[in-house]
Structure 1
Amino acid sequence: MSYEIIEYHDIPNSLAKKILEKYVANLRGGVSEIVKVTLEYLDKVEKCDYEKIDYMYNELKKLGFKEVTISMILNIVPKSIDELRTLLVFEEKIPDDDVLKTIIDMILNNCKE
Structure 2
Amino acid sequence: MAEELDVEILEEKLLSNPEAYKLLKKAVDKIQEREGSVSMLLSKTLHYLSEFSKMEPESSEALRNVLKNMDLKDETIIMIINICPQTLDELRILFELEEKVIDTETAQQILETIKPYCKE
TM-score by length of 2: 0.85
Partner of 1:101: 108
| Alpha-carbon distance, 1:105 to partner | 0.7
Cα RMSD (Å): 1.4
Match of 1:17 in 2: 21
Deviations 1:44-86 (A, max 9, x none): 1011111211111111111121111111111011001111010
Which amino acid is the alignment partner of residue 63 of structure 2?
M
Letter in 2 for 1:61: K
| Maintained 8 Å contact 2:95/2:102 | no
| Number of residue-to-residue matches in the alignment | 113
Q: 1:62 aligns with which of 64, 69, 94?
A: 69
Q: Which runs of 4+ in 1 moved over 4 A?
A: none
Q: Give distance in 1, aligned partners of 2:39 and 2:7.
A: 15
Question: Which of 73, 77, 82 is matched with 1:75 structurally?
Answer: 82
What residue ranges of structure 1 are gaps of 5+ in the alignment?
A: none
Structure having the higher Rg: 2
The equivalent of 1:52 in structure 2 is 59
Q: CA deviation at 1:6?
A: 3.7
Q: Does the 8 A contact of 1:11 with 1:68 survive in 2?
A: no
Secondary structure at 1:111's aligned position in 2?
Answer: coil
**Percent same amino acid among aligned pairs?**
38
Q: CA deviation at 1:110?
A: 2.1
Match of 1:8, SS? Answer: coil
Structure 2 unpaired stretches of 5+: none
